[in-house]
Structure 1
Amino acid sequence: MSFVIKYGIVSKNIDVTQIVFDKCMYNNSLLIIPKGDTIRDTLFTDPIEGIRKCIFVFQNGSVVQYNDDQEVFIQMSFNVYTNSIPTQIKQCYCSKEYTAIIIEPRCHSALFFVLHNFLENLPSNWSIILFHGNINTVFISDMIDSKLVQHKHRIRLINLNVDNLSGDEYSSILKTKDIYNYVETDHFLVFQTDTLILKENKHIIYDFLQYDYVGAPWKMDHNVGNGGLSLRRKSKMLEIIDENNKHPIFEIYGNKYHASEIHEDIFFSYCKTVHVYKPDFETAKTFSVETILDMKSFGIHKPWQYLSPDEWEQLKNAYPEIQELKDLQF
């Protein structure tokens, strides 16, 4: 079976755009879609409504420009089984609209499993920043070169120049501005080696882009929420950091704490002097499962530690990959 893809045309009601794009990226090749062409741009979108691919490409060593006033076609013969693509198409660069970051200085046994999950389930307009340490530099480089080479163009490595991090040190990194200098997009996802995206529900990530902060809600007061898997707006996080530096005393459940004493997700979730637009409890449940079960959530953060035995059994039976992740924990 083969498709002939014409620039700007989706034939036979098949979303060939996603198929061709994924194969081109896998082969380190290119597809040309001018960003300013609104008509064809509408046709060449992600299956998720309204998310433009924004692909910029280079052909034969130079950027190819197309006049929007002309009817220009790029014809590509594409065979689903042989993955064949034109030989003259050589290089691809895709602008990224969103970022996902993970801070992991250890040679963690779950790191590949989690990275692969996020790279496979986040659309191609998401990049990954992996903040690593001194000890796992070679471990990570070998992993990417041997197991994640098809996604290498989406991964950026930043050495934190540490051997390991305590929980407090991890929180401190996210509570200070330095790390955000590396995040080039306003929306970014934070994930850890005990998190996963549930592939059946991966599409709902875009339901949450309207918010400044979202994580799994907490049971005690239904606040939102946990930072282990969380979607955040960079500009709002920086505003909170500035404000909490001015007013570093937090009152939580009647007790007072200095900002330096609390976990980073509490630091951002309980700031009372900055308006943070967050989803309500019921909506946040559909983002991530941690302490509260939702069978249709976008992702999870170590639910095996918090759910009841019956809830855990129900969740892992529906999503066996969560048990795989649990088995990979130290």
Structure 2
Amino acid sequence: MMRKYKIALIPGDGIGVDVLREGTKVMDTICSLGGGVSIEYKEFDWSCEYYLKHGRMMPEDGLERLKDFDSIYLGAVGYPGVPDHVSLWGLLLPIRRHFQQYINIRPVKLLRGITSPLANRGPNDLNFMVIRENNEGEYSNIGGRMYENTPMDMAIQNSVFTKHGVERVLRYAFQLTQEMGKRHRLTAATKSNGINHTMPFWDEYVQKINKEYPDIQTDIVHIDALCAYFVSKPDSFDVVVASNLFGDILTDLGAAIVGGMGIAPSANINPEKNYPSMFEPVHGSAPDIAGKGIANPTAAIWCASMMLEHLGEVELAQEIMEALQIVLEEGKWVTPDLGGSGTTVEFGDAVCHALKELR
């Protein structure tokens, strides 16, 4: 029986359009090779260009239009002339929050064929997961401005940590550690020596949830030290869990040590699957190279694999990752950022060819 999925495509801005095209091409290829899966896409033109025409990042009923899809596949958002906080709060954050995508997953994994900037580190040394709380924390929309454009100008931004929000992300991280951890080791980021309300609250719940998972070794590490350990001993981690801001910082550092932002995928997950989850490369829109055919589609293809895995198509997801790494190892069609001369389209075509060869 054919398993059918409906995926909302939001190519967005800049190279988002270029890389999403390759990601969908790879998914179409693996579906065409058999396995009983078909994918139906619907594309939405919501972007900064849309904002400049309509004064908003998506229509008023945008979330209603998305709710019945199985997944959302996003390219990138951001363009000169539209402030970043406008694009973020007008599209990404409403989707993440309305659809309770409270888990952000960022693999820190060195793919075969890519060289880490860390000396003498290979794929076996760099392979762990960062779980970021995605709905509250430091990115809560509570605060405001007073006395703007006067000598008393001021701004207040409040962090919000709730029992409900903290417990659910921690429980997810502990469960993931139990399922995939080589060492059954969870590392929680904190800064309780300097942030004296929210971080001790976070630490307290780390210790409480740890009691439900007595087989998990749990370390609570200050964010500054943890950043250093990402560089000096990345092979010591299984799963790292962090609040919204700290997770944002750690995951970009994690991307850097496995080859750069251009190859980093992310997943915004609603674990209960009551709502669609969203998958997006994190390299940004890079408008300076948009349309030039040199954008690296690795992250978008990796996101396609993560999306299929979330939908339950684990074998197809694994095949995509194997084909991707075959192309990276061969090096013939990699893009200039990886030292090659291949184009975005050639790279995507090579992954599709590798999939056919694997079959």
Q: TM-score range by the shorter chain?
A: under 0.3
State the structure with bigger RCO (CA 8 A, min sep 6), 1 or 2.
2
Higher Rg: 1
Q: State the TM-score, normalizing by the size of structure 1.
A: 0.26
Q: Which structure dedicates a bigger proportion of its chain to helix?
A: 2
